[in-house]
Amino acid sequence: MKTNIYMEPISDRKKKRFGITKDHINTELMSDAYPALYIETDHELIISNGLLTSDDLEIALPGLTMLDIVNQLREYGITAYITRKSVGMLPAELLIDFKNKIVISEEIDLSPKRLSEINHKNMLHTPGLDDANIKREIVTMYSNERDIKYKKDKGTYSYMVEDGNLYTNGLLPDTMAVVKYDINKFFLYTKDENIIELGKMLKNKSNTISKRIMINNVNARNWDKV
């Protein structure tokens, strides 16, 4: 007997995408990580794949300790401390990737909306979750239906920011805000293991012992393919 099966999806849940990304791994690493360094800076600071950068500063982490990183950051004029003595001699490459200045998208479903209500997982890096250490700036707003312009006269389909509040005139169901999210006092986290993409790490300009060992090992294991 032939059976007709209704093929349309009946669930509104999004299908999970299988696969592992660096972002996913970093989230897993943060689940039981702990703060190793405390930083204060108004400049952008990025840790990615074994490299720390801030403006024209560039530090390759492999081969260095947490204390080495603190000393180099201080020489550059950035306030930096180890959180406790026991982390001072830990390998710096155990620091988990982080960026203190990011751009995020936030759904806006009410007006006015306090800027302090717009948050990101990076807030977990702020000491005591202190909102005073976070700056938020509305870059633009958009909707699939209409353009949303910045206007101080509260024109139709417009927005403005005043006294820490975001006002949206003509709020639409899919209204989104693009927000600069900036933390100026934060912890850098570490744990007993980390993952660094070898290809990106080898592009670092510095020639550390750790880097030379990895190059030798990779070459040794793939000598028959060269």
Indicate the SS3 state at residue 60.
strand
Q: What percent of the chain has pLDDT over 70?
A: 69
Pair 30, 63 in one domain = yes
The pTM assigned to this predicted structure is 0.72
What pLDDT is recorded for position 153? 64
| Burial class of residue 90 in the structure, from the number of CB atoms within 10 Å of its CB (0-12 exposed, 13-18 middle, 19+ buried) | middle
Four-residue CA torsion sign, 195, 196, 198, 199: positive
Pair 196, 163 in one domain = no
Q: Which residue has the tokens 């807030």?
A: 123
The average pLDDT across 33-44 equals 94
What pLDDT is recorded for position 10? 53
Q: Cα–Cα–Cα angle for 46, 31, 202, nearest 5°?
A: 40
226 domain residue, yes or no: no
Is the pLDDT assigned to residue 189 strictly greater than 70?
yes
Is the pLDDT assigned to residue 22 strictly greater than 90?
no
Q: Return the H-helix or E-strand segment holding 211.
A: helix 209-221
Q: Tally the domains of the chain.
A: 2
Q: Return the higher-pLDDT residue of 225 and 102.
A: 102
Pair 177, 201 in one domain = no
What pLDDT is recorded for position 222? 41
What pLDDT is recorded for position 201? 54
d(CA 103, CA 106): 10
Tens of pLDDT, residue by residue over 104-160, are: 999 999 999 999 999 988 888 999 889 899 999 999 999 988 888 888 666 678 899
Pair 75, 57 in one domain = yes
Pair 131, 59 in one domain = no
Pair 110, 137 in one domain = yes
**Structural domain range at position 196:** 22-99+186-208
Q: Which residue has the tokens 């020639």?
A: 207
